[in-house]
Amino acid sequence: TPIADARRAAVLRQLNAMDRPELKGALTDFCAAPAWIDRVAAARPFTSIDSVFAAADAANASVPADDWLEAFRHHPRIGERAAQRLQSYAAHDSSSREQARVQDDASAIAALAEANRAYEERFGHIFIVCASGRTASEMLAMLRDRTNNDPKTELALAASEQQKITRLRLERLLR
C-alpha cells in the first residue's frame, strides 16, 4: 500500500494527465452539474490537493439552477439505490456508503418513500441531503421540514447539500 503522500501525488498526476472528456466523466462522480465540471476541469493543472478543493469551491459559486437540478438527477432518492441518471460504479458505491444507515431501518423506508413523493411533487426534484452518518429518522425529519420551504430557498439548501456531498467525495479521494 502506498504511503498517503505518494497516493495523493499519484491522484494529482492522474487528474492532470486525463484528457478533457475522461476528466469530465470522472468529475461527474463528485458533482454532475455541467458548469461545475467545466470550471473544475478548466482549473488544471492542479498543483496540490488544496488546489483541487479550491477549484471545486470556486466552481460552486457560479452553478446555475438547471445545472444543480442535473446534478441531483445523478443521486438516488434517500432510501433507494438507483438514480434517475446512470451512475458509475464509483458513484453508486459512494451513494450506497453515504446512505448506509438508511438501509438498516426498514420501518423508515416506506415513510421516506412517501415523504420523497410529496417533496418531489412540491419542488420537481429529488430531496438532496448529505446522508453520511445520518440515520433514516434524522433524514426523514429533515425531508419533512424542508418540504415547508419556498422553492428558491429549497433549491439553495439542496445545492448546499450537493456541495457537502461533493466535498466529502473529494476528501475520500484526496485525503
Tell me the one-letter amino acid at 174.
L
3-state secondary structure of 27: helix
Choosing from 74, 75, 92, 125, the catalytic residue is 75
User: Is 50 within 8 Å of 90 (Cβ atoms)?
Assistant: no
Task: With residue 28 as reference, give the H or E element that holds it.
Answer: helix 20-28
3-state SS, 42-97, equals HCCCCCCHHHHHHHHHHHHCCCCHHHHHHHHCCCECCCCCCECCCCCHHHHHHHHH
Is residue 75 annotated as a catalytic residue, yes or no?
Answer: yes
Distances (CA, A) of 41 to 20, 109, 130: 7, 37, 24
Q: Which residues are catalytic?
A: 75
